[in-house]
Structure formats: C-alpha cells, structure tokens
Amino acid sequence: MSDAKFKDGAEAPLRLIARDEEDLRVISACMQDAVFAGDQIHWDAKKRALTVLVNRFRWEDAARRTERVRALLRIDGVLRVQSSGVSRDADIVLSALALSWAAAADGAGRLELVLAGDGALGMDVECLEVSLADVTRPYAAPSNTRPGHPDV
C-alpha cells in the first residue's frame, strides 16, 4: 500500500500490487464481493492489459463501517482472454468471488477471475502483475450491510 491521500488529506485510497501468489491472495480478498457490469471489462490487446472497473466492498474496514468504493483492477501482460458465463451486458451485474493463479515453469501462467454463478474470466499472462487501486472516495453500502454468503 502507498501513503497516497486525496487532495484534502482524507483517508488514503487503497493501492495494491501483486507480483507473487501471496500478494495476489491479498488482492483476491479485497476483490471478494466486488460487483460490476459486464461492460466494465476492457481488454486492450495492443497494451496486453485487462481492466475491470468495480464497486468493491471495503473488507479492510468492515469491522467499523459498511462501505463500498469504486476501484480499478488491472492485469498486465495478458496474452489471451477467455470467458465462461460472463455477460458483457451493461444491465447484468457480475460478482467477483476470487482471483486464482496457476504458474508455469517460465514465470508465465494462467490467472482466473472467478465469478458467482459459475462465471469466470481466464487469462494467459506473461507473468503475474496485478494491481487494485481505489479511484473514488468510499460511500455507504446501499444495503448498509456486509455481503453475506449462505452456508453450502
């Protein structure tokens, strides 16, 4: 994390970078229950970058507040993207569950953004390079509750 703050000195926005599996677990935990519309997924093949603009729940402060914040998930070095059960419709809300990583011997590998409802975005990447950065101030979660998960 950095010590960045908004111009008025308000609480620092979250900024994380993952270049190994341990760091990715931290970003994955912050992305849990993030919601976004399918039209917020952008892959730039020339820049080999996939970005997703999400509304993430602020798990890092969940003991004190029920807030969400807009954040940008960016994955660099993306060679190929495959999706399963992912709508690109602006009216369909997708919910993130986790990010998973399967490394190859050469440092490349397969990164997957797992979504609720059996959806997934799979990416073949040159190396693990993922960032998550808050881009707005936190706001009260509309339901004023923490996301919940039914017992399975």
Q: Is the pLDDT of residue 14 over 70?
A: yes
User: What's the one-letter identity of residue 53?
Assistant: L
What pLDDT digit, counting tens, does each position of 63-115 carry?
A: 888 899 999 999 999 999 999 989 888 889 999 999 999 999 888 999 999 99
3-state secondary structure of 51: strand
- State the Cα–Cα distance between residues 95 and 115, nearest whole angstrom: 6
Task: Please indicate, yes or no, whether the overall pTM of this predicted structure exceeds 0.75.
Answer: yes
Tokens of 33: 């229950």
